[in-house]
Structure 1
Amino acid sequence: MRTAYSVETVRAAERALMARLPEGALMQRAAAGLAAACADLLGRVYGSRVVLLVGSGDNGGDALYAGARLARRGAGVTAVPLAPERAHGGGLGALRRAGGTVVAPDAAEELVARADLVVDGITGIGGKGGLRPDAERLAGVVARSGAAVVAVDLPSGVDADTGEVRGAALRADLTVTFGAYKPGLLVDPAREYAGVVRFVDIGLEPPAADAELEALQHADVARLLPVPAAESDKYRRGVVGIAAGSARYPGAAVLAVSGALRGGAGAVRYVGPAGDAVLARFPETLVSDTGPAKAGRVQAWVVGPGAGDDAATVAEVLEADVPVLLDADGLRLAERDAVRRRTAPTLMTPHAGEAAALLGVRREEVEAARLAAARELAAVYRATVLLKGSTTLVAGTGSGPVRVNATGTPWLATAGSGDVLSGLAGSLLAAGLGAVDAGSAAAYLHGLAGRFAADGAPAGAHDVASLIPEAWRDVRD
């Protein structure tokens, strides 16, 4: 599992470690890892042209010491301090002794334009807001140069704690981060600026309890997935109810059922007007036309996909004393107080537009501050929130870390994909997973299935659903 920590927590861990190490040792560890990553990216160090964009903080020092290591291996290294009077003195001295040069920002444009590699050491993890004008001008030159860009710890101009990008920022091909992941490296929009992230262990030990974000890996998801025992039957494995679809949108019901049938529960009950369509595609479904309360026992409900204006069914499902997943029209039709007073778990699965409507803000505000939006929704509704997007976030109702998932592909932005995800997550709820775990595991599997289905080409929601078993096996194996 990857865990990300706030700037405050990272700073505290750095201070604790530096108190036990000789002066400058921590920076040398970071510089060694950074230089190795730069060398790997260059392939051939000797004769390469490297430009260091150097700010006044420790990131600038890391860049200078790493540049000195590259210069000793035969690279032509030039440093561009953006605030010369505040640049790291020891790093500047080391670079000059190794044969590197230092130039003023006004003389840097031609060097950047001809560089093979640019190292972004302008701002550190404490930077707020976008780049200042002099740095923004150089960032534009870098973007036009075609040089590979390596960011030191975090791309300059992005917010380490929130993943927000409030102004101009420098885009990296590779970000070398030290000691701990930062939330901005895992959450969009900042994640898009980071490129590939390479972690360098420098000995930091931030408390696990202080993590802000968690990113599950295969092994973590494998431990969550339900496995039937020898004595299991379809009811012991859990039954998920699907209240979805309408005369106008019968396909939403079919797709939600398709996800649910592949999600680990032993049986799927369907309630709604699309029963014939569901049975035609999935005859194993238990179909009822008597409404949720009389459909038979379930361990979880999914309500909302393609529901149209059926507010009565949404309200009836919310009264059930089992976990409930709210999606699509269900999010629009559910009364906030009805969600807040529930005692059983509730999992809400909005995309950015739906989240914006629930919060009463513009969609752009949610997309710019996804982490804050997911947390706010969870607090306002007292529910677990799965905020869909290029990086899916799962925020629980407590103070624990938010889960982040990036297994998906842009090809998943297709009609019905969210219905499949809802059915899958609802099935995991019925199988016994908690809301955060069910949402996280479902997003992970759904993303993998999307990758397998697309494989570089368009894929439909039904293709994604059909490859959930392959994603499940990939995780388990």
Structure 2
Amino acid sequence: MRTAYSVETVRTAERELMARLPDGALMQRAAAGLAAACADLVGRVYGSRVVLLVGSGDNGGDALYAGARLARRGAGVTAVLLAPERTHAGGLAALRRAGGGVAPSRQADGIPAFLRAAADLIDRADLVLDGIVGIGAKGPLRPDAAPLAALASRARAAVVAVDLPSGVDPDTGEVDGEAIRADLTVTFGTHKPGLLVDPGREYAGSVRLVDIGLSLPGEAAVEALQHADVARLLPVPGAESDKYRRGVVGIAAGSARYPGAAVLAVSGALRGGAGAVRYVGPAADAVIARFPETLVSDRGPRKAGRVQAWVVGPGAGDDASAVAEVLAADVPVLIDADGLRLADVDAVRGRDAPTLMTPHAGEAAALLGVAREEVERARLDSVRELAGRYGATVLLKGSTTLVAGPGGGAAAAVRVNATGTSWLATAGSGDVLSGLTGSLLAAGLSAVDAGSVGAYLHGLAGRLAADGAPVGAHDVAAALPLAWRDVVRG
């Protein structure tokens, strides 16, 4: 499992480690790993042109020491100093001893000349190293740093961020204004939440973790499942299993206007590990025609027969009665799409059995009473706030899907999933995810695990189905067994 810790936790661990090490040893560890990653990226270090964008903190010191190591291997290294009077003295001295140079400063030549010189260096560079600000920074970049970030982001050179792209909030992934767009981010000790959560994840590029010996106590702020984690959670029938012991998932979905939503939700549910699928709703004929193994009922959720979990809402239109009946059940419930709009907040909060809500950003915005852009900008805060407001597990869909446990708050880790592809932004894809995840609930997974595993498999199935080309939701459902096998086989 990949884990990410808050800045406060990382800073505490760094102080404890530095107290046991010789002065400067921790920075040298970071610089060594950073220089090695840069060398791997450029390939041939000797003769390459490297530009360091250096701020006033330890992040700038890491860049300077790494630049010194590259200069000793024959690279032409030039540092652009944003605050010459506050530049890390040891790192700057090491760069100069190694033969590296320093660009003209804005204090001596004025801002226009400073930016022209920096632009010329960046245009001719093979590698740009972003050491403007580190994990201690909050809010937008300062006016003197933002133009450099813009220049670097447009460069033809490879761009490497030191610990975190400058302009990305380390704890949330939020981007307020200009930020570095890196090809590679070299992060130290542990991942930072902002590297795993969009929009920050998009700016980070590939991420390389350098072990510097940190000991990180307590719970991570963010965690991301990997193949081995998902494989351990997948339900596997035993020798004594039958369709009822494996779990039955109920699907209350579809309407005269949207019968396809029911079909797609059932398609996901049939491939999610439960032993049987019960369907309740007005699209029974369409469901049976496509999936004759489905158990159908026209008597409403309350009288449909026993299930171990319910999925309610995809394509349901304005059928509030079905939502209310499902919420009154004493089994886990997944609420999606129209169900989110029709569900009473008190009914959700009053449930004893687990509840999993699966909004996209627009639906989350409506539930929170904010603009969609606010949810997309602050995804981590939004999913936590929703989970706290409804007392439910919340799966916030998007380019990185987030799963927060009931109650929200920063104490418990939020799961993040990035297995998807932009081709999953297609009608009906969310219905497949709902059915799949509901089936995992019925098979016995907790709401957090069902949401995390469902998102992981759904995203992986989307990649396998698309393979770089457009796909429909039915293609994603059909690829779920391939994704399942891929996870199991490692």
TM-score range, shorter chain: over 0.9
The residue that corresponds to 1:147 in the other structure is 157
- SS of the equivalent of 1:145 reads coil
- SS of the equivalent of 2:202 reads helix
**Pick aligned residue for 1:295 from 304, 325, 331:** 304
Q: CA deviation at 1:141?
A: 2.2
The residue that corresponds to 1:81 in the other structure is 81
Normalised by the size of structure 1, how large is the TM-score?
0.99
The residue that corresponds to 1:72 in the other structure is 72
Separation in structure 2 between the aligned mates of residue 395 and residue 402 of structure 1, nearest angstrom: 5
**Pick aligned residue for 1:242 from 230, 235, 251:** 251
What are the superposed Cα offsets for residues 286-319 of structure 1, whole Å, 9 maximum, x if unpaired? Answer: 0000011111000000000000000011001000
CA contact (8 A) 1:238 1:267 kept: yes
Separation in structure 2 between the aligned mates of residue 355 and residue 144 of structure 1, nearest angstrom: 33
Letter of the 1:156 partner, please give it.
S
Separation in structure 1 between the aligned mates of residue 351 and residue 404 of structure 2, nearest angstrom: 17
Separation in structure 1 between the aligned mates of residue 437 and residue 153 of structure 2, nearest angstrom: 41
Q: CA deviation at 1:349?
A: 0.1
Structure 1 residue runs of 4 or more that deviate by more than 4 Å after TM superposition:
none
What are the superposed Cα offsets for residues 140-189 of structure 1, whole Å, 9 maximum, x if unpaired? Answer: 22233311100000000110001111111111110000001000000001
Asked if 1:279 corresponds to 2:291, the answer is no
- SS of the equivalent of 1:158 reads coil
CA contact (8 A) 1:113 1:144 kept: no
Q: CA deviation at 1:341?
A: 0.3
- SS of the equivalent of 2:174 reads coil
Q: CA deviation at 1:450?
A: 0.1
**Pick aligned residue for 2:355 from 333, 342, 346:** 346
The residue that corresponds to 2:486 in the other structure is 474
The residue that corresponds to 2:207 in the other structure is 197
The residue that corresponds to 1:2 in the other structure is 2
1:252-263 correspondence runs (5 A): 252-263=261-272
Separation in structure 1 between the aligned mates of residue 153 and residue 345 of structure 2, nearest angstrom: 46
Q: CA deviation at 1:20?
A: 1.1
**Number of aligned positions between the proteins:** 476
The residue that corresponds to 1:464 in the other structure is 476
The residue that corresponds to 2:38 in the other structure is 38
The residue that corresponds to 1:431 in the other structure is 443
Letter of the 2:358 partner, please give it.
T
The residue that corresponds to 1:403 in the other structure is 415
Letter of the 1:257 partner, please give it.
V
Separation in structure 2 between the aligned mates of residue 30 and residue 3 of structure 1, nearest angstrom: 19
Stretch of structure 1 that moved more, 387-396 or 143-152: 143-152
Separation in structure 2 between the aligned mates of residue 38 and residue 149 of structure 1, nearest angstrom: 9
Sequence identity percentage: 83
**Pick aligned residue for 1:361 from 353, 367, 370:** 370
What are the superposed Cα offsets for residues 250-305 of structure 1, whole Å, 9 maximum, x if unpaired? Answer: 00000000000000000000000000000000000000000111110000000000
- SS of the equivalent of 1:301 reads strand
CA contact (8 A) 1:162 1:371 kept: yes
Normalised by the size of structure 2, how large is the TM-score?
0.96
Letter of the 2:250 partner, please give it.
G
- SS of the equivalent of 2:154 reads helix
Asked if 1:216 corresponds to 2:225, the answer is yes
- SS of the equivalent of 1:259 reads helix
Separation in structure 2 between the aligned mates of residue 465 and residue 111 of structure 1, nearest angstrom: 50
List runs of 5+ in structure 1 lacking aligned partners: none
What are the superposed Cα offsets for residues 86-110 of structure 1, whole Å, 9 maximum, x if unpaired? Answer: 1000000000000001122513221
- SS of the equivalent of 2:182 reads coil
Separation in structure 1 between the aligned mates of residue 326 and residue 470 of structure 2, nearest angstrom: 35
Q: CA deviation at 1:234?
A: 0.3
Q: CA deviation at 1:133?
A: 1.7
- SS of the equivalent of 2:59 reads helix
Stretch of structure 1 that moved more, 136-145 or 161-170: 136-145
The residue that corresponds to 1:416 in the other structure is 428
What are the superposed Cα offsets for residues 217-259 of structure 1, whole Å, 9 maximum, x if unpaired? Answer: 0000001000000000000000000000000000000000000
1:312-323 correspondence runs (5 A): 312-323=321-332
Letter of the 1:414 partner, please give it.
T
Separation in structure 2 between the aligned mates of residue 19 and residue 42 of structure 1, nearest angstrom: 35
Q: CA deviation at 1:326?
A: 0.1
Asked if 1:452 corresponds to 2:464, the answer is yes
Letter of the 2:89 partner, please give it.
G
1:25-64 correspondence runs (5 A): 25-64=25-64
CA contact (8 A) 1:9 1:210 kept: no
Separation in structure 1 between the aligned mates of residue 219 and residue 88 of structure 2, nearest angstrom: 31
Separation in structure 1 between the aligned mates of residue 482 and residue 187 of structure 2, nearest angstrom: 33
